[in-house]
Structure 1
Amino acid sequence: MKKWFLLLVLSLVGCAATQIPYSPQKMTNRDSAVQIIEQVVMEQPLKHRPENVFITDEYLAFGNGISGKGVTLSNEQPLGNAASTTSLSTSKFEAKNITSRFYFNSLIDSELFKKRDWYVIQLKNEENQVVKRFYTRNLNKAEGFIDSINFMVNRSSNPFSEK
């Protein structure tokens, strides 16, 4: 029984992510920050990669394709004694762009984790909730991504701050 318990504990520990302490380094070039963010986002594993990324001074946005729903109505009527039929069909399809947007002035410090062969960067909002995770296998890219996000956060203005 003790062997099974030990095996269970070891297997659960292997699934956990380990936090890596990292203090963002100062960046001075907006173009470099934008380029790093875009590259890390678009190099993520396919299941986490958006179709496109938009970076402005105010927000980071992702386009995740189009979702739709359709309705088809059909009415078949036989023509006399013949085996052929006529059908009347109408279709209606509604498409909607799926996007997500993260405002830099609503983000706080990002966190860096190591899980197996991956480095995981967590973006957190002002309520300390994880709003997005990014994945890379390269520590330098993970740290550069955090530096770049931090640069954009520090230069964004907060329209909700007291005047």
Structure 2
Amino acid sequence: MHHAFKLGDAEHNLELSRSASAYRLHLGEQVVDVDLKTGADGRAWLTLGERHIEVVIATRGDDVFVHLDGEAYQLRYQHPLDRLAAQAGGSAEDHIRAPMPGSIVSVSVKAGDAVAKGQTLLVMESMKMETTIAAPRDGTVAAVTYEKGQTFDRDALLLSLEPMEKKS
């Protein structure tokens, strides 16, 4: 099955197929066996080929936040119809919500600021790991809901952007 994911600003097209014991990830000519399992202790383990890596994963809708090898990554699954709409000028999300409970480490913008796609909006901390929240598109900050040091629950509205005005 063909899938598209965004990692930062880069779009990655890949295919997944079933194997006898897990899945196979097809990246061009390269094929890698992949599997994700949760142990009895609640820890998650990602297997890539012969490598087993402990990971922390949180999801929010089509966003997947992955902490592995000391780094944090945000992936976004893109449904093919959404990709077509975006290419035709559709708008991205205007509400940035918390992918997991945590606290604000720093806020880089304020209401009224113009932001560019990929620009850091804020940094949050959850489970002693920092995650940078970046602008999903160009726009103007409508409101910043939390300040440095404040805590929030999963799915809390952290920041909102002004809707994109349609060009005539």
Query: TM-score by structure 1 length?
Result: 0.25
Larger helix proportion of the pair: 1
| Largest Rg, 1 or 2 | 1
Larger strand proportion of the pair: 2
